Amino acid sequence: MKKLFISLFAIYASLALAQTATVPAASTIPVLQIDAGKVAGKVSSMLYGLMTEEINFSYEGGLYGELIRNRSFMANPSWPIYWEIVGNPTVVLDKNQPLNSALDVSLKMDASTASEKKPEGIANRGYWGIPVKPDTTYRVSFFAKGDNFRGPLTVAIVSTNGETIFASAKVRRISSDWQKYTVTLKTKNIQPSKDNVLEIFTTTPGTIWFQQVSLFPPTFDKQPNGFRPDIMELLAAMHPKFLRFPGGNYLEGNTISERFNWKKTIGPIQDRPGHKSPWGYWSTDGMGLLEFLKWCQDLHMQPLLAVYAGYSLGGQHITPGPDLAPYVQDALDEIEYVTGDTSTKWGAQRAKDGHPAPFELNYVEVGNEDYNRSSEYDGRFTQFYDAIKAKYPNLQLIATATVTSRTPDLIDEHYYRSQEDMEANAFQYDKRPRTGPKIFVGEWATRVGSPTPNMAAALGDAAWMTGLERNSDLVVMASYAPLFVNVSKLTGRDRSMEWTTDLIGYDALTGYGSPAYYAQKMFSTMHGNEILSTSSENIPTREWQPRSRGRARPPEQLRQIFFDATRDNKNGVVYLKVVNESGTAQPVNVQITGASSIQPKGEAVVLAANSPDDTNSIEEPKKIVPHREEVHSLSANFTREFPPYSITVLKLETK
């Protein structure tokens, strides 16, 4: 009887639609069935978060506000790379006049021929340009000392061609001992630009040493040593629930000494030596442990703290047992730094660093991607697990590979796939037994498009996310990766991108969200807390030949429509997500049972493109963005046409 009703309705719907569009025969109209009377599980309140690490100039030249590249001259031991000279001074790296033991080198400038007519100095182009905006105050600071030199020094932001001075200031006296100097530079009513440099120069002769030359624009919430506001706003709009940090490969480093050694990333920034990122460039560690935590605080995200677990990417590793004990202790100290009150050693250190209040911490991940790296992970995990649980029994511990000696609270799984692979796996968790640990998909992405994902990637992501949401009783947390890319120099030596297909792109001046960013935002900000039971019929398919490394795989039929439904049990709003990955508009019959009433008026948020190759870019940042539309004539049985290459969230008010 039910089936007869469905097909009669489908015929009616198709006749109605046939007046205006080329519509497939009634029997081929896809049908989505939602049983609002059957809750299949709870949507995890932590489902959507962020994953981050220093990759593609994510912080240096990215989120971290600093505009000077190689501010501490530590990026190269023999030459102050990324620094240029103004005039004709002699410039060297000097190991004999260090600022302190952390920054144990300085830039020595011998400006013996400087004059009013021939100023001599140093200049920095930042991360592919120093951005300037109108009516904006920039803060410059540097340590300096002079020999036969008392000042003044001029500090200026100047266009690269030297034609425009946007702002300048003078430091009148320079001491013969190391001292910190600070000036502000205020621009007038100028056009925004980035083809600029910061210059520090003298017109009187002498020798000057510099260290930690810093230039900060206004930061998010005006915080010192803070973050770039436009990127923070893009992230805030996603309503992320957690932040997995500091990596990723960046946690592990290429060698043990290049790991994220958190104790060297705290305290005054001039006491942080910095270290090399495994992604090929220097990190000053201005973005240190406390900055990650403040980032969480600013965006109301829970920290998901990954602790170094004794394995580095080049293969160096620590055998479980006494050799590993100092690393386990480091993790315990780190947790105390995050959560301890000020009566504890590391809680007191955090207070000294400017943050007396402890942070809430519920998740600690042990290592990164240890599944194919070292056979000793089980033993290493066990040692961390026992020590952490003994002191912090309520912490949820995340393993990055299957372990047998202990039962982790969560397992971190990573997936980087093609669009078709994502779609083919959109049901992978429907089949997963519910007997093991909960799942955290700590890194995942449809890798189509460079530097940022295109619409094809957004469709693959969205198709797969319907599977995450439908199985969110099991998959309790997920975070796309990588999050950021500086798009200034995509290829060649000294490029700004190491990993293609990253969610958010920017240069020195502006940033943008990719279509995949908007898909993330739609999923993260629009879902209920109950998973509704669903089924479907007549879903169109296309043939796909999976790639295989070994034995040839037969072609597969890929679905072209994906969906899931969740409900907010506080107000009855049902969120129906529908992904049409095909190039044709799809009329879809939606049937809802188990709801006593459905308001005829609802809302749709739609992200659509003319082609799967369409994308956003620094030049066209908003080519593909979601739009909202009112929807009428909703009922327990309605038909709606979903545009080609589209992701739709339909909001239905039900009782």
- Residues that bind ligand AHR in the complex, under the rule CB under 6 A: 53, 247-249, 368-369, 443, 481-482, 499
Nearer to ligand AHR among residue 503 and residue 609 (C-beta): 503
Nearer to ligand AHR among residue 120 and residue 252 (C-beta): 252
The whole-angstrom distance between residue 89's C-alpha and the CA centroid of its chain comes to: 41
Nearer to ligand AHR among residue 7 and residue 450 (C-beta): 450
Helix 515-525 crosses helix 455-470 at what angle (to 10 degrees)? 20
Tell which residue, 209, 145, 128, 196, has the closest CA to residue 166. 196
Quick one: tokens of 239? 């309503």
* Beta carbon of residue 249, minimum distance to ligand AHR (angstroms, whole number): 4
The phi, psi pair for 459, rounded to 5°, reads -65, -45
Nearer to ligand AHR among residue 217 and residue 513 (C-beta): 513
Q: How does DSSP classify residue 437? A: -
Tell which residue, 425, 621, 646, has the closest CA to residue 507. 621
Angle at 442 between CA 476 and CA 286, to 5 degrees: 125
* Beta carbon of residue 540, minimum distance to ligand AHR (angstroms, whole number): 33
* Beta carbon of residue 501, minimum distance to ligand AHR (angstroms, whole number): 10
* Beta carbon of residue 236, minimum distance to ligand AHR (angstroms, whole number): 22
Q: How far apart are CA 261 and CA 275, in angstroms?
A: 9
Nearer to ligand AHR among residue 482 and residue 540 (C-beta): 482
DSSP string, 559-619: ESEEEEEEE-TTT-EEEEEEEE-SSS-EEEEEEEES-S-B-S-EEEEEEE-SSTT----SS
The phi, psi pair for 77, rounded to 5°, reads -75, -15
Quick one: tokens of 238? 């996603």
CA dihedral over 486, 487, 490, 495, signed as positive or negative: negative
Residue nearest to ligand AHR according to CB distances in the complex: 248
Quick one: tokens of 229? 């506001």
Quick one: tokens of 498? 């190491």
Nearer to ligand AHR among residue 361 and residue 445 (C-beta): 445
Nearer to ligand AHR among residue 103 and residue 481 (C-beta): 481
Q: Is 172 helix (H, G, I), strand (E, B) or coil?
A: coil
User: Residue 524 carries which side chain, given as an amino acid letter?
Assistant: S
Quick one: tokens of 57? 């100039």
* Beta carbon of residue 232, minimum distance to ligand AHR (angstroms, whole number): 21
* Beta carbon of residue 490, minimum distance to ligand AHR (angstroms, whole number): 17
Quick one: tokens of 72? 């501490």
* Beta carbon of residue 568, minimum distance to ligand AHR (angstroms, whole number): 32
* Beta carbon of residue 307, minimum distance to ligand AHR (angstroms, whole number): 15
Question: Furthest-apart CA pair in the chain: how many Å?
Answer: 98
The whole-angstrom distance between residue 504's C-alpha and the CA centroid of its chain comes to: 8
Nearer to ligand AHR among residue 392 and residue 499 (C-beta): 499
Nearer to ligand AHR among residue 478 and residue 531 (C-beta): 478
* Beta carbon of residue 378, minimum distance to ligand AHR (angstroms, whole number): 19
Burial 600-622 (b: 16+ CB within 10 A, else e): eebbbbbbbbeebebbbebeebe
Give the residue ranges of DSSP H helices in 211-283.
229-236, 249-252
Tell which residue, 426, 441, 370, 433, has the closest CA to residue 402. 370
Nearer to ligand AHR among residue 277 and residue 566 (C-beta): 277
Nearer to ligand AHR among residue 290 and residue 481 (C-beta): 481
* Beta carbon of residue 401, minimum distance to ligand AHR (angstroms, whole number): 12
- 246 with 50: CB under 8 angstroms? no
416 to 73, 206, 401: CA distances (angstroms): 36, 56, 16
Nearer to ligand AHR among residue 258 and residue 530 (C-beta): 258
Q: How does DSSP classify residue 112? A: T
Q: How far apart are CA 473 and CA 417, in angstroms?
A: 23
* Beta carbon of residue 243, minimum distance to ligand AHR (angstroms, whole number): 14
* Beta carbon of residue 422, minimum distance to ligand AHR (angstroms, whole number): 16
Angle at 391 between CA 387 and CA 396, to 5 degrees: 80
* Beta carbon of residue 574, minimum distance to ligand AHR (angstroms, whole number): 34
Nearer to ligand AHR among residue 248 and residue 408 (C-beta): 248
Q: How far apart are CA 51 and CA 550, in angstroms?
A: 32
